[in-house]
Amino acid sequence: MLFHILDNKNIKCIKEANTEQLIVLLRKCSLKFQRANSHLWFLSKCKSSKVFPKFIKIYTKSKSISAVKAIEAAKKKWMEEERKTWFVRREAIGEMKLLISTELMSKLNSIGYMYEEEKIVDLVREEAHRHYLRLTRKFERLVGNQRQADSNKKPKSLKWSNLLSLNVTGPIEKTKVNSFPVYDVKCDFYPRFKNLSHLYVTAEEEKILNLGLKHGFSSEIGKKDIFDLAADCEVALSTRHVSFKDQKKKCGAILRRIKDKKIRRSEFKTLKNLRSKIEDQNLIICKADGGGTVTIMNRSVYIEKINEYVRDNNLTITREKNILNKYIAQVKRCIKECPQLLANIYTHKNPQIPKLYGLPKIHKDGNPVRPVVSCTNAPNVVICKRLVAVLPDLVKFQPKRSLKNNREFVEKIKNIVIPENAKLISFDVKNLFPSVPVQEVKDMIVNRLSHLSEPLQVEVKKTLDICLNQNFCSFTDQIFEIKSGLPIGSPISPLMADIFMDHIEENIFSSVDPLIASILHWYRYVDDIFAVVNGTWRQIDILLEKINLIHPNITFTLEKEQDGKLNFLDLGVRKVAGKLNFSICRRGTFTDCIISKSSNHPVNIKYAAFHSMLNRLISIPMDTDHYLKELGTIHLIAKNNGYKKSEINSILAKKLRNQKRGIIYANVPKAFDDSWRKIRYLDEDCLKIGTELKKVGVQPAYYNNKTVGKFLVNNKPKTGIEVKSGIYSKFIQLPPVGEYYHHIKSQGRTKICLKMKKEIFNVF
């Protein structure tokens, strides 16, 4: 009797069987059912361990890579079909067992049936144990044989020559390259965390801080998180001026699925404890300047260092009570009076006084702070951005010696010939932005406006005054006005500094002094200057004195080459046989901290740092040794942050293929019709929301508010949401949750409110 085939013949046999025959059939059927379960367990173990039972045998004469892959795929398919067969067989045996049990129960009383059933269960249990031991030994032999086969295979040596960029310079010996000890590269990275206070930090807290301020941690998803994500979805779909009902419905379903998730991580509890300790002991936690080291210091020391900067740079406390309202009114008036220059521009809906904060320079004695002014919400920030976009064309500003990035620098100097006595030097402008005379810059720009119409000249002058005169900031509830220099942190300051420095350079090179004529090459990136000078070191020192006399506000400092090498930007420049060779250099404060593999971020954001490093690797011309050493450094950074070397090599191989295609095919820029919108990232389900948005031409730009930095950093002053302009609603919840303010920003034609979110997405 075939127990896995339930047909009329078998059913008739069961119906006609007597009690003893039914007991025998039930015993055999139970054993068959148990063996089916054991076989399914065995096949599942084989699948998870990537081994194949001996009955799966496929042969081919070909030994090509395609044949090997085809055999591997066929074996997997065979084993999967075998599992499906056993699932069907087990189901049929179960139905047969149920039919036999029903017939037996009709012929025995309950006590008799239970007695027979217990005997069968004991028998099946013993048989199951013996079968389990037999299959376990069989599985262990398969795993052992597979390991033996893997160890006997000759490991494929990675050919580093296949990962070389087209920009690699010098002779390439493939044998030497392929044996290069890439993974033996050792780097002394700066510590990721530095404690300048008296705070005791536990090992668990230090472990989280070493993950970096950008590390995204997982915690329970609350109502506020869902509100923010729903608002982002509504903004993304509403600003396209088309109704996307299907996409809104699908996004709502995803939001409800996210809301029901329960996620708890111990990281959140540790971070809460650390934040409480920092607040109780009046400390500051922030990122250090020039490297990203997480730093904890005493708040009193931090405030004293900021006040020292305020005193040294003559920041004066304003006497005006409503300076913010005054500047907002000036901006609105300027927009009305400049319809040609500021056409289709919107006023900032939530202007704030720029905030002053500092980043400690932990690599210098005394740990001074670098002042930073956040102008992202300044009243004139929108006008500044418009002026930066249009002013260079209006005044026909084309700087001769200014650089945009390190690639432009390399393109300009990689083929120059260096005389034997020439020296590599770099100049640095001391405190450039505070030193730029604002009125002189205005006059320079006004002198270049003569070719424009009279109304447009007036508009440029008014806009320029608004951008440069609103130079103020706040710190510890005090508002300061900066009477001299460019606004620190303003979008317009780099352009104004570039115009002024271009004027200084014209004055330098218009001189007939023979020392100026000895400058063979001069390239500037903001306030850093690379120069090649044909002269002695004594002549170069005299040259420094002369250019420091060009303008009373501008002071240059000098750095000389060491053994024919000079670091400029993030490059090491070396003189070799009359040519310049390049390598990648990093600051002494550089840490190996990037967004780790375990961070709660989308994959593309995790890989962003590697894309940047690998793009620089393949675009800078380097010799083979420096190229492979830099690749080894990137591998080491990846390893220290939880990534595999194969992931990095895969990204690099793709970039090299694109680099080769760029030589063969014309590089036609893509025409993007898509718009980018911010989308809150909570977990992987948010990627599905991004997929729905992409279908209607909206590209998601994911961000995560639950990062270590967002939770801990407290050196940046925060404005309470209840005092911001715009619409806000106050939701009062029962203790101990407290109060929750949901702030709704209106920008352009978009207005988000809680009612819309409930009606459209129906999340709660």
Q: Where are the alpha helices (DSSP H) in 555-684?
A: 603-606, 608-619, 624-640, 645-664
Mean pLDDT of 375-390: 92
* b/e code 402-433 from CB counts within 10 Å (16+ = b): bbeebeebbeebeeeebeeebbbbbbebeebb
Please state, for a pLDDT cut of 90, what percent of the chain lies above it.
45
Residues 148, 227, single domain; the answer is no
Phi, psi of 285, deg, nearest 5: -125, 130
Q: Map 40-62 to HEC letters.
A: HHHHHHHHHHCCCCCCCCCCCCC
Cα separation, 219 vs 238, in Å, equals 29
Write the DSSP assignment of 143-190 as a string of letters: HHHHHHHHHHSPPPPP-GGGG--TT-BS---HHHHHT--GGG----PP
Residues in the chain: 764
pLDDT digits (tens, 9 = 90+) for 451-486: 999 999 999 999 999 999 888 999 988 899 888 888
User: Mean pLDDT lowest for which of 4-13, 15-24, 203-212, 216-225?
Assistant: 4-13
Number of domains in the chain: 3
Q: Residue 701, Cβ neighbours under 10 Å: how many? A: 14
Q: Is residue 731 part of a domain?
A: yes
pLDDT digits (tens, 9 = 90+) for 157-199: 556 667 788 788 777 666 656 665 655 667 888 999 999 999 9
Q: Is residue 29 part of a domain?
A: yes
Q: Is residue 530 part of a domain?
A: no
Q: Is residue 354 part of a domain?
A: no
Q: Is residue 681 part of a domain?
A: yes
Residues 13, 132, single domain; the answer is yes
Residues 68, 180, single domain; the answer is no
The token pair that represents 623 in the structure block: 């010799």
Residues 12, 147, single domain; the answer is yes
What's the chain's average pLDDT? 85
Q: Is the pLDDT of residue 245 over 90?
A: no
Q: Are 707 and 218 spatial neighbours (Cβ–Cβ below 8 Å)?
A: no
Proportion of the chain in helix, strand, coil states, percent, rounded to 5: 50, 15, 35
Q: Is the pLDDT of residue 716 over 60?
A: yes
β partners of residue 242? none
pLDDT digits (tens, 9 = 90+) for 385-404: 999 999 999 999 999 899 99
Residues spanned by the domain of 642: 160-185+601-664
* Residue partners of 167: CB distance under 8 A and separation at least 6: 618, 619, 620, 621, 622
Sign of CA dihedral 208, 213, 216, 218: positive
* Residue partners of 318: CB distance under 8 A and separation at least 6: 472, 479, 480, 481
Beta strand 472-475 with 565-568 is: unpaired
Q: Is the pLDDT of residue 488 over 80?
A: no
Residues 695, 659, single domain; the answer is no
pLDDT digits (tens, 9 = 90+) for 731-761: 333 333 333 334 444 433 334 444 344 444 4
The token pair that represents 727 in the structure block: 């619409």
pLDDT digits (tens, 9 = 90+) for 602-623: 999 999 999 999 999 999 999 8
Residues 17, 143, single domain; the answer is yes
Predicted local confidence at residue 761, as pLDDT? 47
Residues 141, 16, single domain; the answer is yes
Cα separation, 706 vs 269, in Å, equals 13
Q: Is residue 378 part of a domain?
A: no
Which has the higher per-residue pLDDT, 673 or 210? 210
Residues 70, 170, single domain; the answer is no
Q: Is residue 327 part of a domain?
A: no
Q: Are 700 and 677 spatial neighbours (Cβ–Cβ below 8 Å)?
A: yes
* Residue partners of 224: CB distance under 8 A and separation at least 6: 740, 742
Q: Are 730 and 720 spatial neighbours (Cβ–Cβ below 8 Å)?
A: no
Query: Could you say which DSSP state residue 418 is in?
Result: P
Band (pLDDT 50/70/90 cuts) for residue 587 is: confident
Predicted local confidence at residue 409, as pLDDT? 93
Place of tokens 């106050």: 730
Predicted local confidence at residue 715, as pLDDT? 86
Residues 23, 97, single domain; the answer is yes
β partners of residue 239? none
Cα separation, 119 vs 399, in Å, equals 96
Last residue of a domain, one of 103, 128, 152: 152
Predicted local confidence at residue 605, as pLDDT? 94
Predicted local confidence at residue 164, as pLDDT? 80
Residues 641, 732, single domain; the answer is no
Cα separation, 78 vs 70, in Å, equals 12
Residues 20, 57, single domain; the answer is yes
The token pair that represents 630 in the structure block: 């830099």
Q: Give the closest residue to 679 by CA, choosing from 670, 669, 688, 668.
A: 688
- Cα torsion 38, 44, 45, 49 to 10°: value is 160
Cα separation, 630 vs 622, in Å, equals 10
Mean pLDDT of 684-692: 88
Cα separation, 286 vs 294, in Å, equals 6
Predicted local confidence at residue 284, as pLDDT? 94
Mean pLDDT of 626-633: 90
Residues 687, 749, single domain; the answer is yes
Cα separation, 114 vs 325, in Å, equals 89
Q: Is residue 448 part of a domain?
A: no
The token pair that represents 369 in the structure block: 């702070």
Last residue of a domain, one of 152, 171, 195: 152
Band (pLDDT 50/70/90 cuts) for residue 428 is: very high
Q: Are 419 and 520 spatial neighbours (Cβ–Cβ below 8 Å)?
A: yes
Q: Is the pLDDT of residue 265 over 60?
A: yes
